[in-house]
Structure 1
Amino acid sequence: MDQVWQALYTGAGMLWQALWALIFGYVISAGIQVLVSREQMGRALGDRGVRPAGLAAFFGFISSSCSFAALAASRSVLVKGAHPVNALAFLISSTNLVIELGIVLWVLLGWRFTLANILLGLVMVVYAYALTALWFPARLAEAGRRHAEQAQKSEGMDMEPDSRGSWRDTLASRQGWRRIARAFVMEWAMVWKEILFGFTVAGFISVLVPQSFWDFLFVGNSEDPGFWAVVENAAVAPVVAFFTFIGSMGNVPLAAMLWSKEVSFGGVLSFLGADLVAATVVWIHAKYYGWKYAGYLSVVMYLCMVAAGITVHYLYELTGLMPTERPSLQEMVRFAIDHTFFLNLAFGALAVWLFRLHRSGGHGQPEHAHHAHGHA
């Protein structure tokens, strides 16, 4: 019973440290989603090329949200005319360049991990573009697009409300803030379970799984792992994520736990990128595109995340940025009257205001309007 209590306390402590960052990140994400139309994205991403792929990565970044919302968003972009390769770049960046994920990483593990995660997403986009130039089954991709169109129509999610007026008008009006509040609430409605579950699982794994298991699973655990150890860690980490995945945000505390368990830097980064090959994601992709195209996407993304994890590991080693401190779970679990306490109070009050604004704006609004939103 003591271990159960310790596991719950550990998970709660990690969540407490990251709570304000989660709220801050989702407020930014909600604002961006309201101010940027996905219709415009689809029109700009119709052709394959370096520039459209770069635009797709940028659009994915500013549309960042939870993994499941990103899956629906990338399908919407594909159906609205984007080239499949650009839709893939959008998907990678909208899950690995997530604003709130970077903030939480900074809080738990430091700025070097935030920078590394940004580099990971960018390198994955580059590798995906290069790999699809060598291996891209156009007929299979077109069949996947047709399957996605039918799936979207059958779910009644064939439309997205357009933004009305300029971004200045939106931010200056109460109705604009109600739309931001709605996007914020919808984001939390999708991710609160994955966040709670992710931090709880991290607490239980950290307490109940012995260090010997991680030493067996990730070879070469040391301050200076060899090349093949880094490769093995990067290759195994997505397999672990396949079975433990909760979502991109739920993955963050698990990645912090792996770093505290002496897993190599490249392995931890590969794990952070592995939200795209988890069992639930593969299954959702199969529903969207059919099993064949879902299988192709999964293989491409697995190869990209492993290669990107290794690449960023050695980029950090060459530039001297490799983090050497491995904060223990005890250091990540801290309840005190400090800056985190006041930040949580401030951002908690902001979240409560947005929830109240959302509820006050619901007078006369049909419930189906919520589900018609592009991120429902």
Structure 2
Amino acid sequence: MNILSALCHALWVSFTMLWQIFWGLSLGFLFSAVIEVTVSKAEMSKLLPDHSLRSLTRASLFGAASSSCSYAAVAMARSMIRKGADFTATMAFQFAATNLVLDLGMLMWVLIAWQFAAAEFVGGAIMIGVLVLLFRFFLRDSLKKQAIDQANKGIAGSMEGHAAMSMDEQNGTWKQRLTSKDGWKTISHSYVMNWAMLWRDIGVGLLVAGAIAAWVPDSFWQKFFMVNHPTVAMIWGAFIGPLIAVASFTCSVGNVPLAAVLWKGGISFGGVASFIFGDLIILPILNIYRKYYGGRMTAFMAVTFYVAMVVAALIVEMVFQLAGWVPREHHTAVVDAAISFNYTTILNIFFGVIFAILTVVFFKTGGPEMMRMMERGEHDHTGDGHEASSHRHCAESPGHGSHQQH
């Protein structure tokens, strides 16, 4: 009975978290879908010929307009490299696609506080800058050439189909696409596929966060994060955050509920940021890098990515501390929430209706058939048949067996 009670408590905490974040997720996925339709990326690689400031800015903007799933971002990045995009600019795109996207920021705001959403955007930009400097000083041309040659060998990942679809060119101006019937059909497809890509990660993240919130006492986290030693805690949080992400195995959006639990437990402000950043070095993603770019480049990327995450987190911590924007209390509305009739209920109903409408449109306009085509490797938008292999999303990416994507 005690075990059953503990399980029920953890599941209830997970459900209350889902109740608090559903409308934010739906709104974020809607924004993402609208941007996917209105922002054409067919010529993206031609716009990223080098790692100049202009190319890096473009890469960051394209990434911010892309998917928030780390597995999808990794697949898109490889597709761009195969089409001739600069390696460093492409890695900037990859970082932006997982840290500068609207749905992640919206979820951070809803789950914890607006300061964390701001920290993700500011920290993401800083992290890209640090990564570019590390690549410029330490990435040898010979290693980069080997990685590009490996990327061009045609080893397809399970997210290549989604990458191809996301990089497809839309017809007409953005206003025409946004106001047309076909435009909203495409928006419904992108919206539902965002859910399809991420529902397993979100679900696992909620279950893990619920279990930890229900079963692990705050006293443990306070000791682990050294809350009685503020300066040490700030540094320790930035360094340990990505490593906790490595152990969590979920992509950035799926990690947000656990980030709320860690913040309540006492991790530093910068530690929350570095934890969210860490989704690009989880073990399944590292395995994908190995297949895409080779072992030596994977090791180089793992080290430089980790350093960039830690440095960005420390800078964000210092900047927000100086500005007085770091919350004083380690409380989160989502962890302590209870279900009641309030503005959250109204927003959930409203965005639940949007979810239902767009899902109906998806099913009535050939969405399932398109997904099946992508699974069979028949949906080729890039000109490379092997690159459009499958759209099994986050949940079925390499390294996760039947569970995972990003």
1:193 matched to 2:173? The reply is no
1:17–1:332: 8 Å Cα contact kept in structure 2? no
Q: What's the TM-score once normalised by structure 1's chain length?
A: 0.93
Most deviating of 117-126 and 206-215: 206-215
1:37 is displaced (CA, Å) by 2.7
Give the aligned residue type for 1:345: I
Mapped to 1, the partners of 2:144 and 2:185 lie a distance apart of: 38
Mapped to 1, the partners of 2:60 and 2:357 lie a distance apart of: 32
User: Match for residue 225 of structure 1?
Assistant: 230
1:151–1:287: 8 Å Cα contact kept in structure 2? no
Mapped to 2, the partners of 1:185 and 1:334 lie a distance apart of: 28
Alignment equivalent of 2:73, drawn from 55, 70, 73 = 70
The equivalences for 1:1-376 within 5 A come to 1-151=4-154, 157=161, 159-160=164-165, 161-218=168-225, 220-222=226-228, 225-226=230-231, 228-327=232-331, 332-362=336-366, 367-368=372-373, 371-372=379-380, 376=391
1:250 is displaced (CA, Å) by 0.8
Mapped to 1, the partners of 2:157 and 2:301 lie a distance apart of: 23
Give the aligned residue type for 1:221: V
Q: What's the TM-score once normalised by structure 2's chain length?
A: 0.86
1:139 is displaced (CA, Å) by 2.0
2:112–2:334: 8 Å Cα contact kept in structure 1? no
1:260–1:329: 8 Å Cα contact kept in structure 2? no
Unaligned 5+ runs, structure 1: none
1:212 is displaced (CA, Å) by 4.2
2:81–2:90: 8 Å Cα contact kept in structure 1? yes
1:128 is displaced (CA, Å) by 0.7
Alignment CA distance shift 1:138-1:39 (3 Å): farther
- Please give the per-residue CA displacement for 1:164-212, whole angstroms capped at 9, x wherever unaligned: 2222221222122111111112111110011011011000011222334
1:64–1:97: 8 Å Cα contact kept in structure 2? no
Give the aligned residue type for 1:248: S
Q: How many residues align?
A: 373
Alignment CA distance shift 1:360-1:342 (3 Å): same
1:216 is displaced (CA, Å) by 4.2
Moved over 6 A (4+): none
Mapped to 1, the partners of 2:88 and 2:272 lie a distance apart of: 26
C-alpha RMSD of matched pairs (Å): 2.2
Mapped to 2, the partners of 1:210 and 1:138 lie a distance apart of: 49
Mapped to 1, the partners of 2:70 and 2:259 lie a distance apart of: 16
1:6 is displaced (CA, Å) by 1.0
Alignment CA distance shift 1:372-1:6 (3 Å): farther
Mapped to 1, the partners of 2:119 and 2:324 lie a distance apart of: 13
Mapped to 2, the partners of 1:267 and 1:287 lie a distance apart of: 30
1:114 is displaced (CA, Å) by 0.9
2:33–2:188: 8 Å Cα contact kept in structure 1? yes
Mapped to 1, the partners of 2:312 and 2:164 lie a distance apart of: 35
Alignment CA distance shift 1:233-1:179 (3 Å): same
